[in-house]
Chains A and B, each alone.
Chain A
Amino acid sequence: MSLTAPEKKLLKAITTKGSAAAKIVRQLDLIVVGILFFAIIAAFHIHIMLTVGDWDFWVDWKDRKNWVTLTPMLLIFIPAALSYPFMQRFGLPIAGTLCALCLVIGEWVSRIVGFHMWTYFPYSMIWPSIAIPGLMLMDLVLMLSRNALVTSIFGGSAVALAFAPANWPILAPYHLPVVHIDQVVSVADLIGYSFTRTATPEYLRIIERGTLRTFGGESTLISTFFSAFVCMVLFFIWWKIGEWVTNLGTVPNRFKSMVGYSEEEDDEDAKETV
């Protein structure tokens, strides 16, 4: 697709260093960065907290099965969908990275101000998981391939494949064995037991309980690969949803006559979908 004459003129205008046009669009950029920052924290955080939040809140929920399997699957929804407009409209390979960074900022603020300062949970119990590496890899694959299918396979799967390795360095110290009141538990279990969650008892943890087969302790790997396959599919589905929402377009406005437009007048530009 090529540019129209006014568009070419505009491109020249905004690429002229120091011009008013350049200033306007640059200021628009920065305001939008602010909007996206807060809005993405809000949206992505609420999406994650109500789906896989419990695993993220507590150190004694971070198991080898549900946490590793479900978190990447839920992490991919919004970044995959936002990848469409970011990339296909603006050529920006930053949806995953932005979402991941925003999420972790929102989570830390909440853990510090809410979980710790309000309800007194210690930081060893409430640290959030790391989502950045996998979602960044997704962005990088999208940028280099510019192909949704290739990104689904290699970028989508990367979100899952990178999740456990990104978090094990911070989780490992909490999986040392401890014997407490004649029972063997991990340090994570002990933290969960010691710092009372009045309304969230032990049995509520949706974690691996008595695995049927651990295949020599490879539970994490199995969860990771299963999650990776599902993420491939989810990336593509949500990319398509992102495409649909971005191109939703407009419908007629019955009230336009009240602001000075006649009934016959219509906006051809708005009707056209890209």
Chain B
Amino acid sequence: MFKLSKLIEKLLLSIVLVAITGVAFAHGERNQEPFLRMKTLHWYDVKWSVDNGSTIKVNDEVTLTGKVHFFSSWPEAINKPDTIFLANATPGPVFLRKASYLNDVPMIQSTSVDLGRTYEFKVILKARIPGRHHVHPMVNVESAGGLVGPGIWVTIDGDADDFVYSVTTRTGLVIENLGSYAVQNVVNWHIIWALIATFWLFWWIKRPMLVERYLKVKAGSWNELHTKNDKLLALFMIGFIIGLLIYANNVTRDAYPRTIPLQAGKVDVIALPIHNDGLGIARVKEGRNNALVVVRNKKAEYFLPGRTVTVVAEITNNSTLPIQLGEFTAANIRFINHDVEFAMKGVDEGYPDELVADQSLQVSDNTPIQPGETRTIKIDATDVAWETERLSSLLNDPDSSYGALLFFFDSEGNRMISEVAGQILPTFID
């Protein structure tokens, strides 16, 4: 009895373990490991051409714009972004991707980007399948999968059958609807070949098959198994099949004399300039004393019960105006300093609420940092978002490190962005 209860206990534990590990091994939007989400892509200035929660019609367009920064302290676990693809995280082709650009370079093909650099993206989508969909920009990075930006909800209204996407080829052919182009031809050929195959099968199935033929094979009666008619038919079928293939290809060559193979070259794109003056970002791996704002991570902790991340950082202001920390952003969550007006203005109305914590950024010394001053400040970012976005599972991470962007604003509203990264320590005691 004791042995049985021990067995049951082990069984239950293994079921529970499977359940937990099934979740912990996951790697999607929220179930990607925190170090992965905080030290790869940072998305900012993201704008959608429609409002969060709005309803649009089939065939309407939605444009996503903004900036994406490739963190310089990139995780070792995944490949460098030498092969990436600009995409959109929507539930598959519920939107059609009409165009995409990275720093104005068209992105039908894949490209490569540099670490520590920022790129402007633009993705134009066309509504296709009715329903309520989450729409994010995304970059696929080879070996890492899709790294997803912030998303809004858009409802598509109407009839999917009304969707139309027309294209004109270089040879002058107008394709009325890309989704159904040349499909009838595909179906026709499949039917033709299926009928031929069915005929051949039927030729044999209509006769006794198993027991009789087994006995005849055993008796060696091959002339009964394959009669003269069967052989003639087989010869005819060979000729017919080969003839049909030749005919079909001749007709096709005449109908489509100019074709090209699949295109698969990479495109080149140049990053935005490096300055931390709002266009570029000062990188953690550079001791850039000539950057306008230099940030050095001193210590970082996360306090699990209180859902707080605390970063102690040394800030040096090399600009000519006083600056304040306005925003701390990591893994698409934006912690805004309520007391910095320019930072509050930087949050668009309609930006996904669940990703903005505008009451929750505390800076130990919020007074402006003067030009030339170096000050060590303690930054507290507290919000339930750490938990809902599952970033508190840092405890399960084999790499306990963090990465974030700090947005500083000077007294004239100019923005300077710096990376900050380092080890992060778990704290359970207040």
Contacts and interface: CB of A to CB of B under 8 A. Distances in A.
Q: Do A and B come from one complex?
A: yes
Interface of A: 1-3, 7, 10-11, 14-15, 22, 25-26, 28-29, 32-33, 60, 62-64, 88-94, 97-98, 100-101, 104-105, 108, 119-125, 127-128, 130, 132-133, 136-137, 139-141, 143-144, 146, 162, 165-166, 168-170, 172-191, 193-199, 201-203, 205, 207-210, 219
Count chain B CB atoms within 10 A of each CB in A146, A203, A219 and give the residue with the most: A203
A199 B146 contact: yes
8 contacts: A2-B218, A29-B205, A162-B245, A169-B189, A173-B256, A178-B169, A179-B170, A190-B167
Contacts of B264: 202, 205, 207-210
Interface string B25-57: 000000000000000000000000000000000
Contacts of A127: 183, 186, 190
Contacts of B5: none
Interface of A is mostly: helix
Q: Which 8 A-B pairs have the closest CB atoms?
A: A122-B179, A201-B85, A201-B140, A175-B259, A91-B225, A173-B182, A195-B93, A181-B106
A120 B169 contact: no
A121 B180 CA distance: 10
A194 B142 CA distance: 20
A158 to B, nearest CB: 9
A176 B173 contact: yes
B90 interface: yes
Interface in B367-393: none
B99 A165 contact: no
B423 interface: no
Interface stretch (B196-204, B274-282, B285-293, B331-339): B196-204
B14 interface: no
Interface stretch (B206-214, B318-326, B399-407, B408-416): B206-214
Contacts of B24: none
Contact of B170 (A7, A11, A177, A193): A177
Contacts of A183: 106, 108-109, 263, 267
Contacts, number: 301
B262 interface: yes
Given A101-B198, A181-B100, A187-B181, 19 more contacts: A1-B218, A2-B218, A7-B215, A11-B215, A90-B217, A92-B204, A100-B197, A121-B93, A132-B196, A137-B242, A162-B241, A178-B170, A184-B260, A191-B178, A193-B97, A194-B165, A201-B110, A201-B146, A209-B264
Contacts of A179: 170
A209 B197 contact: no
B89 interface: yes
Contacts of A26: 208
Given A91-B222, A186-B260, A29 B208 contact: yes
Contact of A175 (B87, B178, B256): B256
A100 B241 CA distance: 15
Nearest to B261: A64
Contacts of B255: 172
B18 interface: no
Interface string B209-251: 1111111111110100110001100110110011011101101
